[in-house]
Copies of this chain bind each other. A is one copy, B any other.
C-alpha cells in the first residue's frame, strides 16, 4: 500500500463493558444470538468456555467464576448504553446468566478484558510444553450454538484437552486443541477433528476460516467451499494485481 484514506468516527460518548457467567456454553451462545437477533448493537461480544476461564484465573488470579462467560461491550449515548445493558441483563438472566460485572472506566474495562486478551497464552500454560492447534470456522449466527455444541461433543469424545474462545457476535469461534508436539497420534486426532469442524461449518452455510485466513493449510477447504471455478476466478483476479506472483506467493491457492 502506498496511500490510505481514513474515515474518522467519533469516540462513543459512553462505553460499558460487562461479564456474565452461564451454566453452559450453549446458554452463553444462545444469549449472544438472542441479543443480536433483537438488534442490540453489541460493540464486542466474546465467549470464554470454563477451561479458558480456569486458565486465565490460574495465570492472572482474576478470581472469575470457573464457568462459561460472555464478555460484552456497549457503545453509544449514556441512555442508549443503559438501555442496551438492561436488555442484555434481561436476556442473559432468561438463559440463567448470573454474576454480572459491569465496568465503566477504561481501567475497569481493561481488567475485564484481560481475561479475553490473555486466554490463549494462559491456556497454553495449562499443559506445559504443549502445542495449540486452533480452529477458525464461522457460521451464520443462527447456527452458532449448534456448531459449537457439536464441536464440544466431538472433542470431549476424543479426550483431547481444549479450550474455546469465540467472537460470538460474528458467528466465529476458536477451539484450541492442546496437543503434545511429540505425539503424532494427538496431532492426527486434532487434524481430524478440525477437518470435521470445517465440513460442518460448510454444511451450515459457513466458511472454513472466519479470520485466520486460508494460507497453506486450508487451500483444499477453500475449493470445497467456493468451488473450482470461483477459486480460479480469485486466482485470475489476484494475477491482475500481482502479474509476477510476488505478493505472498503460494498462499490461498497454489
Contacts and interface: CB of A to CB of B under 8 A. Distances in A.
Contacts of A12: 39
Interface string A7-42: 001101100000000000000000000000111000
B80 A39 contact: no
A4 interface: no
A237 interface: yes
Contact of A77 (B5, B10, B83, B236): B83
A233 interface: yes
Interface in A188-244: 205, 233, 236-237, 240-241
A183 interface: no
Interface residues of A, number: 19
Q: Quickly give the copy total for this chain.
A: 2
Interface string A32-54: 00000111000000000000000
A182 interface: no
A161 interface: no
A79 interface: yes
A3 to B, nearest CB: 11
A96 interface: no
B241 A233 contact: yes
A38 B12 CA distance: 9
A243 to B, nearest CB: 9
Contacts of A9: 39
Contact of A79 (B38, B80, B205, B233): B80
A12 to B, nearest CB: 7
Contact of A80 (B80, B205, B237): B80
A70 to B, nearest CB: 20
A123 to B, nearest CB: 32
Contacts of A240: 233, 236-237, 240
A108 B5 CA distance: 40
A83 to B, nearest CB: 5
A10 B77 CA distance: 21
Nearest to A9: B39
Given A12-B39, A79-B83, 6 more contacts: A10-B37, A10-B38, A77-B83, A80-B83, A236-B240, A237-B240
12 contacts: A5-B205, A9-B39, A10-B37, A76-B80, A79-B79, A79-B80, A79-B83, A233-B240, A233-B241, A236-B240, A237-B240, A240-B240
